Amino acid sequence: MDFKEEIQKRRTFGIISHPDAGKTTLTEKLLLFGGAIQEAGAVKNNKIKKSATSDFMEIERQRGISVATSVLAFIYKDKKINILDTPGHKDFAEDTFRTLTAVDSVIVVIDVAKGVEEQTEKLVEVCRMRNIPMIVFINKLDREGKDAFDLLDEVEQKLNLNVTPLSFPIGMGYDFKGIYNIYEKNINLFSGDSKKNIEETIAFDDISNPELDKIIGETAANDLRDNLELTQGVYPKFDTEKYLTGELQPVFFGSALNNFGVRELLDCFIEIAPSPRPKMAEERLVKADEKELTGFVFKIHANMDPKHRDRLAFVKIVSGTFERNKPYLHVRHDKKVKFSSPNAFFAEKKEIVDISYPGDIVGLHDTGNFKIGDTLTEGESLHYKGIPSFSPEHFRYINNADPMKAKQLYKGIDQLMDEGVAQLFTLEMNGRKVIGTVGALQYEVIQYRLEHEYGAKCTYENFAVHKACWVEPTDKNNEEFKEFKRVKQKFLAKDKLGQLVFLADSQFSLQMTQQKYPTVKLHFTSEYK
Ligand code: G4P
């Protein structure tokens, strides 16, 4: 198979949802279709139990599983499908944001009863900003939930999307009869038998056909006719181009647990979802079918064995092929490196591979040379954009609790920050170190890992910060900027890349600062240029 065909074959995507909407269940059913796993229950639940805040065994267990499920790959109808796992727990939202820089499309799972939930809103916003093509799957139709039209409205309004249903439910919950597939023009009857792998569908090109009444009953048939007429009047016709540019999102209904409506979703997905898309680097747009390799690190995972401080860096291949033992340029270090055992991912295993293609993810063993966002090329000085840091929600001073182990502590902090566990800020005034995180859970993870992997002990002290803002002066030499730096000295810090950050202690002080120093721009993400 030639290079271009390999690219066309690949579909690399993420499933996003609020916890409990059914992401794990859907992933598992997709893998079943690909024949990648034999039975239900094989995909481990990559979730942190609600009681896990101080349960370190749970944290370790979760880290172990998250390596195993980081990338799940399978072949379906001759397409190579790579599912990138996105943690649902909100304390790990940063991880998910970063993973979204490596996907070419996403499937959004929504619970029919709960509708659009908080975590879904945040994740979809990130996808919308990047024009990532999205398919919506409304799950748990076997349960009572919201009316289909109300839900479609809710998705449009809360998620700011422009939807069009490609399937439509017939009844719901106790009365759930099945689904009309608008895309394929057929009916799939619900039997509630989750073991059924292949669903039989009945073709209905024309739903006015009286056969429909015989199959689902007169009332349900008339309701379906009315509903479909309404959808035609209200929603735009599906258009693949618009889906690909992020202007239109098709919606499917089903029940992942019952493996119902999943085949329709998958069949449509492989047909319409994009193969690896071009990616913007600081220097230029890179197309997947360019011959030379380019790729970037979007995730780093520490090895589970604390004795070997070895990590796995996950690289998304954007263009060219990645070959074993071939030297590549580590752009940030300006050094050639080669890898004797790059890993590729299959269902739940990883294996050494000789060659990987755009859209694939390779796992590289790393002893501390990689940071999230690093780019690999065949010699070109290229920097991939698109992994911004957002303002953390929590801030604490980190103190060294064992003076004999200062070196270990700083090394540990450094490496954990490279992994993207949290963000480090160093105060301009006194050099004190502040750790910013999305959730409180990370502080415990950091403390535990510093002790177990680096032999260092730390304590924390609260530091009241409302928001971290990245500072961009219009002119570094103007008086206003100088005054800003003088007056706000106590609140200024450098992030890990040496960028200036203003740590506003309240919304009020943030607003006052913006008013008083209009030429000093304050940004809410690190990547504002
Ligand atoms: P998540 O990864 O998005 O967090 O969700 P997950 O798949 O773990 O699903 C959350 C719960 O919803 C699970 O139940 C799962 O069985 C259930 N579920 C998923 N899809 C459907 C569906 O189509 N219909 C119904 N009725 N339930 C569904 P649980 O009791 O929390 O977990 P478990 O004990 O079954 O694993």
Task: Indicate the top mutation candidate among 15, 16, 18, 20 to test ligand 1's pocket, ranked by most ligand atoms within 8 A of CB.
Answer: 20
Question: What is the SS3 assignment for 347?
Answer: coil
Ligand 1 atom having least distance to the Cα of 28:
7
Note the ipTM here: 0.97
Q: Which residue has the tokens 């913006």?
A: 514
> Domains of the chain (ranges plus CATH)?
3-173+236-275 (3.40.50.300), 280-377 (3.40.50.300), 394-523 (3.30.70.3280)
- How many whole angstroms from 30 Cα to the centroid of ligand 1? 15
- How many whole angstroms from 208 Cα to the centroid of ligand 1? 36
Residues of the chain scoring pLDDT < 70: 36-69, 88, 192-200, 303-309, 347-348, 386-388, 527-529
SS (H, E, C) 454-498: HCCCEEEEECCCCEEEEEEECCCCCHHHHHHHHHCHHHEEECCCC
Task: Indicate the top mutation candidate among 114, 176, 257, 262 to test ligand 1's pocket, ranked by most ligand atoms within 8 A of CB.
Answer: 257
Q: What pLDDT does 306 receive?
A: 59
Cα(166)–Cα(253) distance, integer angstroms: 9
Phi, psi of 423 (to 5 degrees): -115, 140
Q: How far is CA 37 from the centre of its chain?
A: 23
Ligand 1 atom having least distance to the Cα of 143:
26
- How many whole angstroms from 168 Cα to the centroid of ligand 1? 22
Are 112 and 21 in contact by the 8 Å Cβ rule? The answer is: no
What value, to the nearest 5°, has the Cα angle with vertex 489 and ends 484 and 495?
Answer: 100
Q: Which of 315, 386, 375 is nearest to 528 (CA)?
A: 386
Strand blocks (E) in 236-386:
249-253, 279-280, 285-286, 294-302, 311-319, 322-323, 328-330, 335-337, 343-345, 350-352, 355-356, 361-366, 375-377
Q: What pLDDT does 61 receive?
A: 61
Q: What pLDDT does 93 receive?
A: 74
Ligand 1 atom having least distance to the Cα of 19:
4
Q: Which residues are annotated as a binding site for GTP?
A: 17-24, 85-89, 139-142
- How many whole angstroms from 21 Cα to the centroid of ligand 1? 7
Q: What pLDDT does 515 receive?
A: 94
**356 Cβ contact list (under 8 Å, min separation 6):** 317, 321, 322, 342, 344, 362
Task: Indicate the top mutation candidate among 25, 32, 44, 45 to test ligand 1's pocket, ranked by most ligand atoms within 8 A of CB.
Answer: 25
Q: What pLDDT does 200 receive?
A: 66
Ligand 1 atom having least distance to the Cα of 255:
23
- How many whole angstroms from 20 Cα to the centroid of ligand 1? 6
Show the ligand 1 pocket: residues with CB < 6 angstroms: 17, 19-25, 45, 47, 88, 139-140, 142-143, 255-258
